[in-house]
Each structure stands twice: as structure tokens, then as C-alpha cells.
Amino acid sequence: MKRLALLAAAAASLAFGANGARAETWAIEHVTLIDGLGHAPQSDMTVTVEGDKITAVGPSVLMKAPKGHVIDGRGKYLMPGLMDVHIHLHGGVDNATDTNETRTQALASYLYSGVTTIYDAGNQPENILPLRAAERAGKIASPRIFCTGNLITYPGSHGTGMAVNVQDFEKDKDKLDKQIAEQQPDMIKLTLEEEGWGARPMIPLMPDQLLRDVIRYYNLHGIRTTIHVSSELRAEEAIFAGTDSLAHPVIQGPVSDSFVKLMAAKKTPFMSTLTIGENYSRLVEHPEFLDQPLYAASFSPADRQTLKTKVRAEYQTRLWTSWMKLMTPVAMENIRKVWAAGGVVAAGTDQSSGPALQRELELLAQAGIKPFDILTIATHNGAVLLGKADTLGSVEPGKFADLLLLNADPTADIENVKKIAWVMKAGEIVDESKLPMAGGQQKRRFTPQ
């Protein structure tokens, strides 16, 4: 079994390329470019890629393609790879099926769905850290992995079971040092929550001064912070405590005008995470969504059947399902208001598979945000939130060549983001036939000439 797992990992690396792989040159000519920065789409453009970087972007009439692969982009749309900046990587549909193999399959589902960067916002270190190392060594087919590892919480507060618990800053500083040294978090997530995401008995809340001290300590080590909140009050406290971002929108009720103005003025990015709440009622009311091509490729037939039967039956009886059905539209309107005022929204799902990000974009459209703006939310803004906008999130010379070529215009209909011609990560086009997909072997979308 161990030998089979190693062979599968080796095959997966071939789907995507490993460090030290032969550097290739690409020119995508006569394509409509959506750069991710909010500029109007530009027609008849050429983008060149050498190795893992974008080297040139300009009008096709002025560009001379370098020697290498030339792709005719007529009738197609080139944009940055998608970014899901709030996931919790988990394989299968329950704890019994959460293994390294199924987590690797989940990672492959992101690439298959056009997602080239993810941020895991809290996980067991032994589950996520080896996969981050394998991805960075080019050993597995995976989007770029940024992660927190353990959360930071106050004892008994939200997320305690998966966290480093801090009660006294000076006494517990060694815990933070240990977490930084051993886990090397790309961004740390704290929780500021006394109610979770629904009505339940009150739980301890991290004191304000402790929150400020922990944020400052991680920032002094060059590590950004994000904070789990769900109410306007806690979101404001997190912002004034100095957090770099918020891990959720306000979902507990409609936001005030003063909060909207604060978010617009501070430009504190926040993760959209609509899909996690909507997913409950969607499965109960429309289980057929699991038959859509992206889901069928990303979940095994057995897991899809389990979701449609056992899990669906559980959701039908949970008050959480009804509560989230009521509150998700509230969160959608809150997001729309903050975005319209000039706030910074980044796409995140709080889930564990690539198709969830595509659904997140659909919900943002249903919230009243234009498809063109959603493309920025799903690319550049994610890079801004992660502090990686200098290397990721847009189609510009010098950036990593994480690209998505589409067969239809995503600015006309956000569902066109599903119409994928190919996915490129670090200058290599993904071979879908070699991805370890839970739904079985998939056909390769594009074969280089």
C-alpha cells in the first residue's frame, strides 16, 4: 500500500512538474486579457512565460513570440489563477475517510477547478504541514499552499480543540515562539468569538489587550494575522486591535453605515466564506449539484452517494441548516455594501474542495457584485490579503505564471469561469489526466504542441 501511495505521488508530480523540471517558454497570442487588477479586458494581447514567471505582456501586434510553445488565444480569455484564501483541507466526507491520500485528492481538485493558490486557515499541523512542504518541493499536484497550522485562541474559546491556547501573553510567549519555530505559519489565525456562528451558550472571549499583544508579536516576526469574527462588534475590535484581515464577513446581522465606512477607510481585507453556510441548505434542497462535472470529478461516487443520503439526512434535522439559510443572505448583502463602498473582499470558501470556490463566485454574483469585479476578488485581492501581491494574483511581468485560460467570457457570466481551456501553475500547464482525482481519471483538456 505504501509503495502504491508513492507511485501515485510520483504520477501526480508529473501532472504538474517538480522543482528542477525543464524550464519551458510559452506565448499565448491574440487572447483577451483580464489582468486581475481591475483594468478593462484587453483584446488581442500576447503574454509570454519563461520558466515559472510571466516575462512580457503587450498587444500582439507589437510582440514577437520567443522560441517555444505558441498558443492561439483567439476567442479565449486569459486571467490569473483563482485563489481560495480560506479553506480547511480535509479529505473525503468524514473523519474516517480523511487520510493523506484523500487530502491529496482534494488538493488536485483545486487545480482541476482553476484554483492555483489556497490558504488553509486552521488545521492539525501533521495534516497540512507535510503537504505544504511537498507542494513547495514540487512533489505533489497542488495549488500553492499557504497555511496557519494551529490557531491561536483563548482557553475555552472558539476553535480551542485545534489551537495553541494563550491566556497570559508574557507567560505564554514561549508557546507562540514554539508555534512559529515548528510550524512556520504563513499567516496566523486567531479567534474572537463568543458564540461561534450561531446561538449557543456563551464561551470565553480573548481579552482585547491580549489580542493586541499577540497580533503585534506575530507582526514583529513578519507574519500576518487574520481573525475569526462573525459580528460587527467583534470585527471592529479586531480591526482596532491591528489585525491584517478578517476571516469572515459579518453574518450575525446587517452592518451599520459606520461599519461600512470603517471597512472602506481601513481597507482591511476580509474573506467572503458564503459557501460554508449555504452548503447546508443547498445539499438538502438541491443535492443534484453534486452531479455537476466539477463535483463529479472531485468526489468519489461513494462519497457523492454518502453526501446525498446520510449527510443530507443529518442536515435536514439540524437547526444550523435553517439558521444558515436565513443568515447567508444577510452576509451577502453585507459583503455587497462593503464592496460598493470601496472595501476589500477576497474569495474564500471555508471548505475543502476546488468546486466550492466556483460556487463562492456564483454567490457573490447573486449578492449583486458584477462578474468583472468578482474576478478581482478571486485573484488580486486574495494576493493582497495574503501579503503576496508582489508575486501573485495578476498577469504582469515578473509575477509567477499562475494562469487560467477560459473558453468563454467570465465578465459576461461568472459561470464561464468553469469553462476551462487549461490551468497553468508556475509556468507548467496541468495535465488533468495525471491528477489523482477522487472521481477517477479525467481527460486532459489541452495537449501542448
- 161-217 pLDDT tens trace: 889 999 999 999 999 999 999 999 999 999 998 765 455 557 889 999 999 999 999
Question: What is the pLDDT at residue 15?
Answer: 44
Please give the DSSP secondary-structure letter assigned to residue 308: I
- The DSSP-derived string for 221-276 is TT-EEEEE--SHHHHHHHHHHT-SEESS---SSPPPHHHHHHHHHH---EE---HH
For residue 1, give every residue at least 6 positions away whose Cβ sits within 8 Å of its Cβ, in sequence order, or none: none
Would you say 358 and 413 are in contact if contact means Cβ atoms under 8 Å apart? no
Question: What is the pLDDT at residue 22?
Answer: 55
Measuring CA to CA, how many Å separate 167 from each of 77, 135, 159, 221, 404?
Answer: 51, 34, 14, 20, 45
For residue 345, give every residue at least 6 positions away whose Cβ sits within 8 Å of its Cβ, in sequence order, or none: 249, 269, 270, 272, 335, 338, 339, 364, 369, 377, 381
- 216-252 pLDDT tens trace: 999 999 999 999 999 999 999 999 999 999 999 999 9
Q: What percent of the chain is predicted at pLDDT more than 90?
A: 87
- Residues 438, 158: Cα–Cα separation, whole Å: 32
Residues in the chain: 449
Superfamily of domain 82-386: Metal-dependent hydrolases (3.20.20.140)
- The DSSP-derived string for 317-365 is T-HHHHHHHHHHHHHHHHHHHHHHHT--EE---SBSSHHHHHHHHHHHH
- Residues 437, 327: Cα–Cα separation, whole Å: 33
Q: Write down the mean pLDDT value for the chain.
A: 93
Domain parsing of the chain, residue ranges: 2-79+396-431, 82-386
Please give the DSSP secondary-structure letter assigned to residue 310: I
- State which CATH number among 2.120.10.30, 2.30.40.10, 1.20.210.10, 2.40.50.100 fits the domain covering 2-79+396-431: 2.30.40.10
Question: What is the pLDDT at residue 9?
Answer: 43
Q: Per-residue b/e over 188-206, b at no fewer than 16 CB within 10 Å?
A: bbbbbbbbbbeeeeebebb
Would you say 404 and 81 are in contact if contact means Cβ atoms under 8 Å apart? yes
C-alpha cell at 418: 468553469
Question: What is the pLDDT at residue 95?
Answer: 80
- Residues 426, 78: Cα–Cα separation, whole Å: 15
Alpha-helical (H) ranges within 17-90 are none
Q: Per-residue b/e over 137-156, b at no fewer than 16 CB within 10 Å?
A: ebbbbbbbbbbbbbbbbbee
Amino acid of residue 144: R
Closest CA relative to residue 71, chosen from 48, 51, 41:
48
Please give the DSSP secondary-structure letter assigned to residue 24: -
C-alpha cell at 150: 494551529
Would you say 12 and 104 are in contact if contact means Cβ atoms under 8 Å apart? yes
Strands of 5-111 (E only): list them.
25-33, 42-50, 53-59, 69-72, 77-80, 82-87
pLDDT tens, per residue, the chain with 449 residues: 333 343 344 444 444 443 334 579 999 999 999 999 999 999 999 999 999 999 999 999 999 878 899 999 999 999 999 999 999 999 988 888 889 999 999 999 999 999 999 999 999 999 999 999 999 999 999 999 999 999 999 998 888 888 999 999 999 999 999 999 999 999 999 999 876 545 555 788 999 999 999 999 999 999 999 999 999 999 999 999 999 999 999 999 999 999 999 999 999 999 999 999 999 999 999 999 999 999 999 999 999 999 999 999 999 999 889 999 999 999 999 999 999 999 999 999 999 999 999 999 999 999 999 999 999 999 999 999 999 999 999 999 999 999 999 999 999 999 999 999 999 999 999 999 999 999 999 999 999 87
User: What Rg do the C-alpha atoms of the chain give, in angstroms?
Assistant: 21
For residue 374, give every residue at least 6 positions away whose Cβ sits within 8 Å of its Cβ, in sequence order, or none: 347, 361, 364, 365, 414
C-alpha cell at 318: 439540524
C-alpha cell at 341: 463602498
C-alpha cell at 312: 443530507
Give me the sign of the Cα torsion angle 226, 231, 233, 236: positive
